[in-house]
Copies of this chain bind each other. A is one copy, B any other.
Amino acid sequence: MSERGRPRTFDRTAALRRAMQVFWARGYEGASMSELTAAMGINSPSLYAAFGSKEALFLEATDFYSHTEGADIWLALDEAPTARLAIEQFLCLTAKAYSQNDRPQGCLITLGALHQDSSRGAICDDLRRRRAENHSALQKRLERGVAEGELPADFDSNAAATFFATVQHGMSIQARDGASHDALLATVAGAMAAWRTLAGGSAA
């Protein structure tokens, strides 16, 4: 399409990945433009020409995060044969992803911007929307378990989805506190211990 003009000398996707890592580690407000441009290996005019603004860069970085780092955790939901295994794998993959040492601990969507501000409304709203989508994905998978007879008809998929989503949010903070993979799995075990009770006493 547009091949005119001087060609860009940096890899836009690679730069976006670097920006994502900075936002992931520092949060939206904690990531300064100096740190971003340094990590991306470009000067600020190039950043603004390619991404528009710090806010637009963050929105694009979180979208990139969802499609790369956060993808496999949620893909496992629909692939698992039962709702129980789906939730268990969802939490186990979370425990693994949140405790890797070669990247920031915890989740960008969860920790990226928690404090509302007049100038940060769009950022908070976008992350909130993404978290709501995650809750919805959990709820839908549980409802499928009800439809398939795995879970009783009066199973509260909404309440259970809220519980498991909240556990995952807590694991982000636990991971930020330096929790090991095993410590995160202790939380997973606790959450899964609730399963048989929530599922109505019928052991899977």
A183 touches B162 (CB 8 A): yes
Question: For the complex, is A59 an interface residue (Cβ under 8 Å from B)?
Answer: no
A164 within 8 A of B: yes
Residues of B within 8 A of A193 (CB): 193-194, 197-198
Q: Are B174 and A169 in contact (CB under 8 A)?
A: yes
With beta carbons under 8 angstroms apart, the residue of B25, B128, B160, B179 that contacts A115 is B25
- Among B117, B170, B177, the residue within 8 A (CB) of A170 is B170
Number of copies: 2
Residues of B within 8 A of A177 (CB): 128, 131-132
The answer to whether A48 has its CB under 8 Å from any CB of chain B is no
Report the count of interface residues on A (CB-CB < 8 A): 46
Q: In the complex, which of the residues B117, B173, B174 contacts A30, with contact meaning CB atoms closer than 8 Å?
A: B117
Q: Which of B116, B159, B170, B198 contacts A167 (CB 8 A)?
A: B170
Known: A128-B177, A167-B166. A190 touches B114 (CB 8 A): no
Confirm or deny: A10 has a beta carbon within 8 angstroms of a beta carbon on chain B.
Answer: no
Asked whether, in the complex, the Cβ of B164 is within 8 Å of the Cβ of A173, the reply is: no
Interface residues of A (CB under 8 A from B): 25-27, 29-30, 110-111, 114-117, 128, 131-132, 156, 158-160, 162-174, 176-179, 183, 186-187, 189-191, 193-194, 196-198
